[in-house]
Amino acid sequence: MAAIISIGIATLFSLVGPLIIRITIDSVIGQEELNAPILIANMIDKIGGVAFLRRNLWIPAVVLVSFTLLRGIFLFYKGKWSAEAAETVAKNMRDDVYDHLQHLSYQYHVNAEPGDLIQRCTSDVDTIRRFLAAQFVEIGSAIFMLVFSAYIMFSMDVKMTLISLALIPLIFGFSIVFFRKVKKAFKLMDEAEGSMSTTLQENLTGLRVVRAFGRQSYEVDKFEEKNSINRDLTYKLIRLFAWYWSVSDLICMFQTGMVLIAGIYWTSVGNITLGTMVVFLTYIGMLLWPIRQLGRVITDMGKAMVAIERIQEIMIQEKEIMEETGNQPPITGSLSFKNVEFQYEEGKTVLKNLTFDVKEGETLAILGATGAGKSTLVHLLTRLFDYQKGSIKIDGRELRTIDKKWIRRNVGLILQEPFLFAKTIKENIGLGKNEATEEEIYEVAKVASIHDVVTGFNQGYETLVGERGVSLSGGQKQRLAIARTLISDTPIIIFDDSLSAVDTETDASIRRALKERSSRATTIIISHRIATLAEADKIIVLEKGEVVQMGKHEELLKQPGLYKRIWDIQNSGEEEETKITIDKYAN
């Protein structure tokens, strides 16, 4: 708002300058009668009349400079305030979108296309910001300029004004038509550029293929083609602009010429003064540019609207409510599933009829084929999804009535493919707990068998990981994720196949260390390794969403089924070694 006002004021001041020049030329230097608003006439009279000014020509000069300065001040504030407004809006929009995205459901993120989302969050927001910061202001100042100058011009001379404004609609119309047209050319050029980049990118990523087939010269030809298409289309676009500028220059100059000739005529006839003519010429010069720009801005407005829509599409997605009921009971970790059923969509049941119990501090192990529903089962426990039928009770309370935020704070779920943030290792582990001390970080890192790896890095715990940092192996990432979850000391910990990329020995030592920890959490482990599963208090075998076997290691071995088959395979090769491992940890 302040920005708009200052645009208006700045425009007003910019129009005053020529008027000062006019009065000076006509009445001070020339002999014309003073033809100024009463207010100004009075002021001039007070300081000693026109004659005084004539003797002291520096006064109008100083007045001119000070008005320009005043205008400058408002121009500055216009720039500053409109930037502040636009940037604040952009900041809030970014924050809102980011926050909203974080609170969208798990399912949404499973299906989302990150590339598209990032595009919306960055370039679409930027389009809106640009619109607010520059284009909006431009529209404003063009309108102010037109209205004010038309008013002043009309009050000076109606006929001259009509002539001065005669071609303005034409210029405006022409630029709108042109920018509509140019949009297509832009799109074509964009596509050509995109296709050229794709060729380049494929060449660079496929370096080995290109070299192995000795296709360098073929690639050069291919790129050459795209490169020249891009060149030609870009040139075509520039050519269009050449037409635009030359034709609109022609119209503008013609307009100026009309003013000049008409001005000469009326001035020599004596209808208007020389100063008035100069004012008209100056005003026309000031008006033409913004009017030409207006065509572009109006065409661009469409883009901003589309961008707003695209962001809206994200914002209308339903958020997860983290604190729904305010129910945040203490959780110790006993679980009870009763006839639990779940489906992602109607008719596709993923889990059915699940019934089992896990006592506080016990370990539950889950074995199952790909797609049997293991991950879904543990996801239910963190309320990433909500079960549709049956009941899950934590410490006797129905899971669905407990706040999501509270549940997730108390259930540590370690994903199979954990995501590491672009931070240091220390910070990544520390994510699990606010203000974790170094000792705590080292302790959990040791439990997760990652401490020695980390201290082996040049920068130790300060090593950057994530996109721009060192690349860690899958197993190392999993171990970091384990440490990150352990540090939060949740009463329930779930390993969703999160030891899959860790070798058998490390796997064993992590489990050993976990057992030795003083606070023993209720643990759920999903794994394919019998050695990992064997020592659990209870093992369930899932098949197509149903529990087909349940019991201890020894019991399951006696039954035919998946568990026994896997055991046989794992035992066949390394009979001695596997046995040793199992014997060692099974009891």
Q: Which is nearer to another protein, 97 or 304 (CB)?
A: 97
Q: What tokens does 506 get?
A: 């490390």
Question: Please, which residue, 126 or 555, has the CB nearer to another protein?
Answer: 126
DSSP tag of 320: P
Which of 198-206, 293-301, 355-363, 393-401 is the region at the interface with another protein (rule: CB under 8 A)? 198-206
Q: Which two tokens stand for residue 147?
A: 């209205």
* Rg over CA atoms, the chain: 38
Give dist(CA 548, CA 167) in Å, integer: 85
Of 223 and 356, the one with the shorter C-beta distance to another protein is 223
Which letter does DSSP use for residue 47 in this model?
T
Counting contacts by CB under 8 A, is residue 159 touching another protein?
A: no
Kindly state whether residue 83 participates in binding another protein, applying the rule CB under 8 A: yes
SS3 525: strand
> Using the rule CB under 8 A, is 580 a contact of another protein?
no
For another protein, the closer of residues 354 and 367 by Cβ is 367
Distance CA 442, CA 573 (A): 37
For residues 108 to 137, the per-residue mask of contacts with another protein, x marking binding by CB under 8 A and - elsewhere, is -xx-x-x--xx--xx---x------x----
Residue 586 contacts another protein per CB under 8 A:
no
Told to check if 457 binds another protein by CB under 8 A, we report: no
Task: Enter the DSSP assignment of 461.
Answer: G
We find the least distance from the C-beta atom of residue 81 to another protein, in angstroms, to be 9
Our finding on whether 468 is near another protein (CB under 8 A) is: yes
> Which residues from 279-308 bind another protein, rule CB under 8 A?
281-282
Is 467 an interacting residue with respect to another protein (CB under 8 A)?
yes
- Which residue's CB is nearer to another protein, number 515 or number 565? 565
Distance from C-alpha of 472 to C-alpha of 467, rounded to nearest angstrom: 10
Task: Tell whether residue 437 is a contact of another protein (CB under 8 A).
Answer: no
Helix axes 2-23, 274-315, angle to 10 degrees: 170
Q: Provide the residue type at 174 as one letter.
A: F
Which strand ranges, in their side-by-side order, compose the sheet holding 363-368? Answer: 411-414, 492-496, 522-526, 363-368, 538-543, 546-551
Q: According to the binding rule CB under 8 A, does residue 216 interact with another protein?
A: yes
- Exactly one of 43, 305, 315, 422 binds another protein (CB under 8 A); that residue is 422
Tell me if 241 contacts another protein by CB under 8 A: yes
Tell whether residue 501 is a contact of another protein (CB under 8 A): no
Q: Which residue has the tokens 């407005």?
A: 301
Site string for another protein, 32-71 (x = CB under 8 A): ----------------------x--xx-xxx-xx-xxx-x
Q: Which alpha helices (DSSP H) does 35-167 contain, by range?
A: 38-46, 49-55, 58-103, 106-111, 114-119, 125-130, 136-156, 158-165
Q: Does 31 bind another protein (CB under 8 A)?
A: no
Yes or no: say if 294 and 175 are a contact pair by the CB < 8 Å rule: yes
What is the total count of residues that contact another protein (CB under 8 A)? 152
Q: How far is the CB of 417 from another protein (least distance, A)?
A: 9
> Which residue's CB is nearer to another protein, number 82 or number 363?
82
Closest among 4, 182, 167, 13 to 79, alpha carbons compared: 4
Per rule CB under 8 A, is residue 211 in the interface with another protein?
yes
Give the nearest distance from C-beta 384 to another protein in angstroms: 6
Residue 202 or 537 with smaller CB distance to another protein: 202
Task: Establish if 312 lies at the interface with another protein (CB under 8 A).
Answer: no
CB neighbour burial string for 301-323, b if at least 16 within 10 angstroms, e if fewer: eebbeebbebbeebeeeeeeeee
Interface mask toward another protein for 242-281; x: CB under 8 A: xx-xxx-xx--xx--x--xx-xxx-xxxx---x--xx--x
Interface with another protein (CB under 8 A), residue from 238, 305, 306, 315? 238
Pairing relationship of beta strands 546-551 and 363-368 according to DSSP bridges: unpaired
Least Cβ distance, residue 163 to another protein (angstroms): 14
The count of C-alpha atoms lying within 13 angstroms of the C-alpha of 81, restricted to the half-sphere facing its C-beta, is: 16
Task: Give least dist CB 413 to another protein, A.
Answer: 5
Residue whose CB is less far from another protein, 241 or 339: 241
CB 547 within 8 A of CB 365: no
Binding mask 89-108 for another protein (x = CB under 8 A): -xx--xx--xx-xxxx-x--
Burial class (CB within 10 angstroms; exposed 0-12, middle 13-18, buried 19+) of 99: exposed
- Near another protein by CB under 8 A: residue from 16, 166, 210, 548: 210
Distance CA 461, CA 423 (A): 10
In the block, residue with structure tokens 């010269």: 217
The CB-of-493 to another protein minimum distance in angstroms stands at: 12
- In total, the chain counts a number of residues equal to 587
Sign of the dihedral defined by the CA atoms of residues 144, 148, 151, 157, in that order: negative
The interface with another protein within residues 359-398 (CB under 8 A) comprises: 368-372, 382, 384
Q: Is 75 in the site for another protein (CB under 8 A)?
A: yes
In the structure encoding, which two tokens stand for residue 239, read together? 């050519």
> Taking CB under 8 A as the rule, does residue 505 contact another protein?
no
